Structure 1
Amino acid sequence: MRKWHRWITVFFGVFMIWMAFTGVASHVTALWPAGEQAGPPPVPQGFVCPETMMCRPKAPPGGMKSLVGWFHHLHSGEEFGPLGTAISLMTGFALMFFSISGLWMYFSMWKNRKDRSLKPGWFWK
């Protein structure tokens, strides 16, 4: 299990760092304060809007809000086509594998340590 854990880490570690960076950047840009909001674009002359607000044009996204969509596409791999999406999916599976195999290795080492009765607890030096 250790051998698989180490070899898969070499390949997927780069993609996991990429996904962590783009995920954090996506959340930071989504939570960033909006600041000065631009008003809606001007309406054409002669246009009469009914009482509801639904017909008014919305302002185009700009600044940080446009970065959210871009970082989301980078994070999910959609920006790189089907291969990027497949690598993103495989990186998610790799993260699950690393979590399960890491716990498996930890508990097997804890179970097999020689002086377990001398040192109570879950951690050792």
Structure 2
Amino acid sequence: MRKWHRWLAVFAGVFIVWIAATGMVGQIISLAGGEGHDAPPAAVAAPVASGTPGISYPIPNGTDGSPVPAKPHRKQQDLYHFIIDLHSGAYFGMFGKVISAIIGAALLFFAISGMWMYLNMFRKRKTIGRAGVFWK
């Protein structure tokens, strides 16, 4: 188990660092308010009711195209979506998504095998009378 854990970490490490870094940057942008989520329905309905010009957007499963006010374009939204596409692998197409899924499975393996190895070391130490949770 230890050998698999070590050798897979050599190959997966670069991708894990990439995913962790882009995820962290995405969270920072999100905390700064740069996600660019859609406005609540009341915020969209008010300008429409007042006659503010909008764009026509066909509503899925709807009966008509309702005017929806165009919201200003923000570069921070583009940055957020770009970072999230890098994080998920979507920026690199199907290949990136597959790599992202494989790295997710590798992280799961590392977590389980790491806990398993720790428990085995703990049990061995316990049998010789040195049952500390942490050791040098």
Letter in 1 for 2:32: W
Match of 1:11 in 2: 11
Of 61, 80, 93, the residue aligned with 2:92 is 80
Match of 2:24 in 1: 24
Identical-pair percentage = 43
Letter in 2 for 1:123: F
Unaligned runs of 5+ in 2: 35-47, 53-65
Aligned length: 110
SS at match of 2:132: coil
Any residues of structure 2 matched to 1:46-125 within 5 Å, and which?
50-51=49-50, 55-113=67-125, 116-117=128-129, 119-125=130-136
Task: Indicate conservation of the 8 Å contact 1:30/1:64, yes or no.
Answer: no
Superposed displacement of residue 115, structure 1? 6.5
Superposed displacement of residue 51, structure 1? 4.2
Structure number with higher strand proportion: 2
Task: Indicate conservation of the 8 Å contact 1:5/1:98, yes or no.
Answer: yes
What are the superposed Cα offsets for residues 38-72 of structure 1, whole Å, 9 maximum, x if unpaired? Answer: xxxxxxxxxxx544887352324313222111111
Superposed displacement of residue 90, structure 1? 0.4
What are the superposed Cα offsets for residues 54-97 of structure 1, whole Å, 9 maximum, x if unpaired? Answer: 73523243132221111111111011011110000000000000
SS at match of 2:67: coil
Unaligned runs of 5+ in 1: 35-48
TM-score by length of 2: 0.71
**Do the aligned partners of residues 123 and 89 (structure 1) sit closer, same or farther apart at CA in structure 2, a change above 3 Å counting?**
same
Letter in 2 for 1:83: F
Per chain length, whose mean CA-contact separation is higher, i.e. which structure has more relative contact order (CA < 8 Å, sep 6+)? Answer: 1
Structure 2 distance, partners of 1:15, 1:61, is 32
Letter in 2 for 1:107: L
